[in-house]
Every structure is written in C-alpha cells, then in structure tokens.
Structure 1
Amino acid sequence: MVFSRARLAASAVGLALLTGCTTAAPMVQPTDTSAPVPDELEQYYTQELDWSECGTNFDCADVTVPMDYDEPDGETITIAVKTFRAADTAQGTLFVNPGGPGGSGIEMVENISSYFGSELLRNFDIVGFDPRGVGESSAVRCYDSAELEEYYSLEFDLETDQGWDDYVQALTDYGDACEANTGELIGHVDTISAARDLDVLRAVMGESTLTYLGYSYGTLLGATYADLFGDNVGRLVLDGAIDPSLSFTEVSTGQVRGFERAYRSYLEDCLAGADCPFSGTVDEAMQQTIDLVEQTRDTPVETSDPDRPVDDASLFNAITVTMYSPASWPSLTSAIDALLKDDGSQVQFLSDYALEREDDGTYPEDQGAFRAIDCLDYPVELDRQTSTANAEANEELSELFGEAFSYGEPGCATMPVASDAVREEIAAPGTPPIVVIGTTRDPATPYEWAEALAEQLESGVFIGYDGDGHTAYGAGSACVDEAVEAFLLEGLVPEDGLTC
C-alpha cells in the first residue's frame, strides 16, 4: 500500500493504441515450466498468444487467466501485455512493474527510455503488463469522472458525529459503486492472485524462471511471487521496497515519517537556493508551510479557472506529488512562489497531476484499482476511536502530513469485500539471491521498510542509496544502476549492504 500512488500514475492509455494492429504468429512458444503446474491450470500455462504490432519495436497481446484461482474452470479475465523488443538479440525477458497498486506496466514500457538503461534495452525483451484490475486488463470501475469530481470536493468534520457518519457513508457509496460497476472481479484483485497471474505470464512468454524489476508496490508483488513460486525465481530486483509484515496503520505511520523527512530535505535544498519562497531555518520554513496550508483552507487562491480556486487540499496534493522526485522540487518552489503572489494556477496544475485529472476534467476509468487492491491486501476494522487515536499519534509525528495520511481505515472497512489477508513476514526460502533497494529519504516507501524486507528474505541482498525521491534505479546513481544491471544482465550479485 502506497498512500499517494493513485494520484501519480500517468494518464490511461487510449484504446486507439491497438486499433488496426495486425495479428502475427506467437513470438515465442511456451516451454516447460520449472515447477509442476496443477492439471486444472495447464490450459492457462500452455495457451498460445495472438501477438499484434502496436508501435515501433512493440508487440501486444492479452493473456487469459482464471478470475478465481480456486475455480479455474469458472469465469476468466485477461491480462494485457506489451513487450518492447531488445535492440540486439535478447538474452531473455525482463518483466517490470511500476508500483501502485494500480500502476500500469504498459504505460511504463511505453516510456521505456525514462526507466531503463541502454544495456537493458539492448539485451532484454522488456515486458510490461497491467495487473488484474488495472488499465487495459480486466479492470476495476468505480465512479465516472463527474462523480469523482464531486467526490473529491467533499469535506468532512471528523470531530463531529455527523461529520464522521457522512464520511463513512460517502466511502460506503464509493465502495458500492465499485461493486456495481466492476462485478465479481472486485473480490479478486489481491496481490496473491496477481502473483499467480505473473507466473502464467512467465510461462507463456517461454521463460523457465522469472527475471523481474519491481518498484514500490511492485516489490510486494515480487516478494509474494518469490514466496509462492520459489522454484521459478530467476533474478529479482525489488526497488523502493515495502515491508510485507506491516499493518495498514503501520504503513500509514511509516509514510507520515517518510514524507515529513522528504519535505524537510526539500526545504533544506530550497533554503540554500536564491529563489526559495520560504526563509529562516528548516523548522521555520516548515511552520510557514503549515501556515500557508491553513491560509488556503480559509481563503482559497484564484487560478486561471475562476471555478477552481486553490484550497488546502490542492496545495497538499502539490506538495505530496513533488516529493517523489527531486527533479520536481523546482516546480513546487515556483508554484508556491506564485501562490504567495495570489496565483494558484501552478499549484492547481500539480494537484491535477497528482489526482490524474485531465484538462477536460476527466480521470482514468480504473482510478478505483488502488483502493480495491489495497483493501484486499490489508484487513481493517471500522472503529472511529482507533482511527482517531491513530490520527492523533500521526499528528505528533508530523503536523503537516499526520492527519492527511490518517483515517484511511474506513475506506477499506466500507469496501464491499472484506479482506482475509494475513500481514506477515516473507522469507521465500530456497530462492536465488534477491536484490532489495532502499533510498534513505524515500517518502512513500521508507528506507527502513527495504531493510526489513531484505532481512526477512532468506536470500535477500540489500543495497542502500543515500538520496532523495521514490526508488533508486534510474534516479542518477551510477553505483545503483551499475549494480542492478550487472545483476540482471550477468548474474553478478552485489555485496550485501552495498551503500551508494
């Protein structure tokens, strides 16, 4: 669970992308898998795919999997796959996941040069897939754009009984809409099912073992895969790792600490520059930020759209989304500087990007996938007293982020399908080395989580990156990039505890 992921993904890929593609013979034939496949699943593991050209060096296909692995002869769903062909002769297939939950691997592969080094592009066929519930696969549907626009505008005073009841009712209505518009699939988008899909993808792509690079939530997917299919694990890299043993509340608390730490790093960098809209020490700049959030709550700031002034929620979204990459920090600095001059347009732009809102007011159709997946993975109870106590504790950790990252439990407790998942450590015994990476000032998946996962995995190998932003590979560290690529390309296992 990554609190802010649903606000960050790129715009949904249009269906026109595949229009007019011609059908070709399968690029690879399925081969024998490493571990035995149950007879009832053989039809899925041995299926042949109809591949279509869908761009220069890209091929697309849909893979059929059971909606419910406990009923493999029942209803089926499809997993959309998009492959970027290696520039040279491929030495194998690299599966990738950008995180989320709800991130699109297809969109990730379409932006191939932004993520992967040239050596990987030359030597691997890189496979992006939309996990079940997401994007071009059989997907979750909740609110349409008009309903979502109204939903995002709601405000609740959770200190009052009426405010709490209204909050719970709004969340219940949202969950009911997800069930009505998604159907039975809403109860089958959990990470264990997605990991089982990934093993089918591995087999139909002709790979006896899985080579995989997962970011953020993709590390939970990768670790779950390793635990379920240890005999099929090849070279796995888990970057920006999640500690699978944490509860919903513990994840929220970890992210409160992570974003507080990341924002203070931004402020330190900002104050060292010439154009920072804040002044004084980091503590003083933090208080100035809190005061500005409160000010926009009371008096929203006009934008280029007179119907959409910037309020505290928009400012908070802008701050949150820009913590994911230090390359975005100048945009936040410029936006806050303009806000202080009574122009909220730049802040509104960043907020819209965070929420995946297009200029015409539309949102991705699968925007509900984040909550649906998250809530099946994390069991919670609807308990106002406990939620309030958690929020108060988080506010002690961060006055800026504490309350905003709290009160998430009711969102899952009101979903139509209750989670029976068990949050526990993942050891994945008997696998080859699995590389786990943590970034010291990662806001969304704190460094400590990566350390914990590497320790839990029987074969975990840890790389620590002293840096800012969410995830490390491709973020500018030659040390990290070289270690990851040497492992994926040559099988060279980095030294456990390597610091970059």
Structure 2
Amino acid sequence: MPTPPARTRTAALTVAVLTAALAAGCGDSGEADLPSQKLSWKDCPAPSAEQGGGESPSPLAGGANWECATMKAPLDWDDPEGDTLDLALIRAKASGEEDKRIGSLIFNFGGPGGSGITTLPAFGDEYATLRTRYDLVSFDPRGVGRSAPVTCETDKQLDAYYQEDASPDDAAEEKTYVDGVKKFNGGCEDRSGKVLPHVATTDAARDMDLMRQVLGDEKLHYFGISYGTELGGVYAHLFPENVGRAVFDAVVDPTQDAQQGSLGQARGFQLALENYAKDCTSKPDDCPVGDTPADVQARIAKLLKDLDKEPLPGLGARKLTQTAATNGIAQSLYSKDFWEYLTEGLDQAYDGDGRVLMALSDSMNGRAPDGEYSNIGAANIAINCADDKPRYSVADVKAKLPEFRKASPLFGDFLAWGMVGCTDWPVPGAADHPDVSAKGSAPILVVGNTGDPATPYAGTRKMVDALGAGVGIEVTYKGQGHGAYDSGDPCVRRAVDGYLLDGKSPESGTVCPR
C-alpha cells in the first residue's frame, strides 16, 4: 500500500470515482547561475495525467487566480552545472497589504509522490488566513507529476498489477507477487532510468533551497505534512541557518528504518480501524457492518478471507480482490470524513457489490474514473527506494510476519510483503533512516495526531528529539485521521497560525483540543 499524501486529490478523486461507479523532463544542458533565474508565472494548465488529471484550478474565494511556473534545477546536485530538469510550481499571491507580507510559504503534502500542483488548489481556501501574509506556494517534487515524472507501466499494466495478490499464501502466489514487483521495477528503470538516481529526499531538499532563493526569500518558510515532515527535517539538517518559520504536521518518525516504519503503520492502521469500529457501533442508529467493535472487525476479516478465494464484481471488468478491498479500507481510514464511505462500502460488499471499496482502492492507487493513473505509485516507490538503504528478501518478510500480524491482523500481511518493493530496485538506497538533526535551526512546530493511522503519534516526540535541543516545539492533537491542521480544531489552528503569522510559539507540550 503506497502512502498517499496527507492532502492529495483524495477527496475530489474519491467522490468522482464513487459518482462514476453508482510532461516536463530533463534538459540537455545546465545553467551556471540557477539561483538568479526569473520565473514566468502564467495561468495554470489543466493537470496532466501524471498529476491526476482534471480541470485547471478554480480561483480562490474572492477571485484570486492560481499561477504556475517552472524552475530549472540540476538533474544531479553533485554536478550543478550539468543537465537540468524542470520543476513545476504553483502559487497564490498574498491577499494582505504588501508591507505585512512575510514571504512565500512552501507546502509539501506528502506521499512521497503527491502533486503539490493539484493538492494546494484543492484545499487552498482552508489556508486563507495564512495567505494574508504569505504567498502560498507548492510544487511537484522531482519525479512527481510535471517534474520529470517517474513512469513504470502503462495504465492497462497497472490495472493488472493492482489486481495481483499482495499477501501471498503459498509458494506459487509468492512467486507471482515477487515476479510482479520485479517487472514493475524493471519498467521504472526502462522508462525513467535517467532520473531514478536523483529523486532522493536530499535532492528535493536542495531543490527547496534553490526555490527559496529564486522566490527571493532570505529564509524558507515551510508547511510540511506527512512525508513532507521528513522532507522538512532533511532540509533543516542540510540548511539549518536558512530555516524560517516551519510547521511539521502528521509527523514521520525519522529514527525508523523501512521495516520499522511499515510495522508502525500496521499498528497505526489497526488503531484507526478499531476507532472506526467503536464509532460506528456507538451511534444511535444501528451500525450496518457489525453489532460490536469486535463484530465489525471479525466481519471485515471474514470478508477479506472470502475475497481471497472469490473476488466480487467491482468496477467495469475489474474485480474487488482481497488486495483491492484492503487498499480501500486503508484509504478510508486516512480521514474520519471517509468513514461513512467505509461503512457504505462494507455494507455493499456484504451484499455482493464491490464498487465502493474498489473506488476507494482506486483513489489510493491514483486511478481516475477514466482509467488513467497518476504517477503517485511510481514516484512513491522511486523516492522511497532512493532513500531507504535496506533491501528485504522473501525470507526477511516471512521472519517478520508473526510480528506484523500481531500488530494488525488485517493489515499486517500486506505491509510486511510490501517490504520487498525495493529488493530489485536499480538504484541503491541512501541510508537506514534520514538525518534530521538541525542544530542552529529556528524553532519548528511539530504537530502530532494521537489517532493518525499512517504516521503514528509516537513519531512526533521522536522527531522533536532528533531535531535537537531547542528546535522542535511539540503540539499534540487528540483526534482521528491523518494530520491535525486540516481537522479544523481551533486550538491547533491558533497554535499554527499564531506561529506562522506572528512568530508566537506555543508552549512545547501543548495539547489540543483544550
């Protein structure tokens, strides 16, 4: 299961699929003085297929238009005067008085692999308060969307790939699964071999410092969500003296290797599932998917077991397999707003209709209703494999399966087998885990959500400790879903807005809601 960005086109794409169911590249030559380049801001085009498709971004409330530009960056940061690539940027200019403007606030919404060009406009009005003093800016990181996108397989091949059993039960299924991963990874090398060595998080962090200079800012003001917190931490490590006001929300644990991170996600998704089951069965109306929390989970487990033997009709010719159903359930746990879709999808699946769960799975995989895929899956694997040094074997997975199953009877197998995703990757990984130590950095607001499935809450304190003394300011949100600021909780909004707009740091250890 690739990790979607915290605020991708998830909402828009999921609704579109549910309703339906019921390329810039590398340049040939470098430029000697990239920090002095001038950006040409123009009306934004409609998103490309790699970005997820759709229509050009609508104006913000009040009529402000989004503007797009491309920024040249070195393909290889070790050879800054060599070949270049084009990075796609988007902005909405500050709405307040010019003399109150602080600068640009750069967003990364996570993934890795999410397109900032499509995500920021989708939720831009929620940042209206921040726009009073900042230009809101986001971008497609290298390898993503319109920024030299990594591609691996055709849409038809991806349909087949995502139908494969991702939790094999015997030797034959293991071989099919591993062969499918190897074929997918080989496709990435064939189609995107030139860019694969240059999509690591350290490369993206250097791109952000170039972006800071090109945008004319002395300091980098930053809002990172999910994987965006890891990117922000790596930036703070590389350029501590350039950090301005920064917020990390839905925090990645920077101390974990890939196996530990996957195990943490198993626990996180299991907790979110248990919270969903408690919520559903606590309502005045009957919960249509179970009588008690334990019953809800038992019925889901039975559904998945049955789907392993006999998939249900899904969308078009595609079937709702065990893998697709698990993906769909995971997608719905990213936000409490999607719990109603999970209830609807499970209720229908129990009656033999797999369309809603498959629509949720499609959203997880970046598949639009017209059958085109964004490149979120390809970019996700490319960036993770460039970052993560460990390469796991089938034997490694089997040795860890009991621990993963204990962490989550439902998600454990899928997340354990996902560890082989980088085994045959053509590029070596950089490190066991990112270095985010940032001595000398300005304070960074680090916000964790106790009910977060994808970036479990324990990572918040780990990030604060890893940043170093006097850097991380810890804020806890007691809530559900992936992220805290987008929950709308007034306490979280006051803490974040007060810091970004006025430089007022909340007390470390603040707990929301108050």
TM-score after normalising by structure 1: 0.89
Q: Take 2:315 and 2:203, find their aligned partners in 1: how far apart are those partners? A: 45
**SS state at 2:73 partner:** strand
SS of structure 2 residue aligned to 1:62? strand
Q: What whole-Å deviation, never above 9, does each CA across 1:53-82 have from its counterpart, x for those lacking one?
A: 336422211111111111112211111111
Identity within the alignment, %: 34
State the 1:285 CA deviation.
2.1
1:287 is aligned, of 283, 295, 298, to 298
Q: Identify which of 204, 208, 211 aligns with 1:201.
A: 211
The farther-off stretch of 54-63 and 366-375 is 54-63
CA-CA distance at 1:424 after TM superposition: 5.2
Alpha carbons of structure 1 residues 288 and 3: separation in structure 2 relative to 1, 3 Å: same
Partner of 2:40: 50
Query: 2: distance between equivalents of 1:345 and 1:275?
Result: 23
Match of 2:72 in 1: 64
Selected match of 1:78 from 70, 83, 86: 86
Deviation for aligned residue 1:7: 11
Q: Is this contact kept in 2: 1:8–1:355, CA < 8 A?
A: no
Which of the numbers 99, 102, 106 marks the counterpart of 1:91?
102
Which residue number in structure 1 is paired with residue 48 of structure 2?
Answer: none
**Greater mean alpha carbon deviation, residues 221-230 or residues 272-281:** 272-281
Deviation at 1:243, TM superposition (A): 1.4
5+ residue gaps, structure 1? 19-39
What RMSD in Å do the two structures reach over aligned CA positions? 2.2
For structure 2, the 5+ residue unaligned runs are: 13-22, 24-29, 45-56, 60-64
TM-score (normalizing by structure 2): 0.87
CA shift in 2, pair 1:140/1:234, >3 Å: same
* Aligned partner letter, 1:4: T
The Cα shift of 1:293 comes to: 1.4
| Alignment size in residue pairs | 471
Aligned residue in 2 for 1:105: 116
Pairing of 1:393-432 with structure 2 (within 5 A): 393-423=403-433, 425-432=435-442
Q: Counterparts of 1:460 and 1:389 in 2: how far apart (Å)? A: 36
* Contact preservation (8 Å) 1:310, 1:347: yes
Partner of 2:129: 119
Secondary structure of 1:461 counterpart: strand
Match of 2:472 among 460, 465, 469: 460
The 1-side partners of 2:167 and 2:264 are apart by 25
Q: CA deviation at 1:174?
A: 1.2
Q: How many angstroms does 1:260 deviate by?
A: 0.4
1:492 equivalent to 2:504? Answer yes
Aligned residues of 2:32 and 2:81 also touching (Cα < 8 A): no
What residue identity is the alignment partner of 2:33?
A: Q
Query: Greater CA deviation, 454-463 or 383-392?
Result: 383-392
Show the counterpart of 1:332.
342
Structure 1, 70-79 or 208-217: larger mean CA deviation: 70-79
Q: 1:266 to 1:217 in 2, by over 3 A?
A: same
The change in CA–CA distance for 1:414 and 1:97 in structure 2 (over 3 A counts) is same
Distance 1:209 1:42, change over 3 A: farther
* Equivalent residues of 1:444, 1:470 under 8 A apart: yes
CA distance in 2, matches of 1:127, 1:255: 29
Give the deviation of 1:452 after TM superposition.
Answer: 0.8
CA distance, structure 1, for counterparts of residue 144 and residue 393 of structure 2: 30
1:5 equivalent to 2:4? Answer: yes
Question: 1:91: Cα distance to partner?
Answer: 3.0
Amino acid aligned to 1:185: V
**Distance of 1:10 and 1:262 partners within structure 2:** 21
CA positional deviation for 1:158? 4.1
Report the 3-state secondary structure (helix = DSSP H, G, I; strand = E; otherwise coil) of the residue aligned with 1:5. coil
1:276 has 2:287 as partner? yes
Q: 1:485 & 1:109 partners in 2: Cα distance?
A: 17
Q: Does 1:214 align with 2:224?
A: yes
State the alpha-carbon separation in 1 of the partners of residues 266 and 38 from structure 2: 46
1:97-496 superposed matches below 5 A: 97-113=108-124, 115-116=126-127, 118-155=128-165, 158=168, 160-273=170-283, 274-303=285-314, 305=316, 307-365=317-375, 367-423=377-433, 425-458=435-468, 459-496=471-508
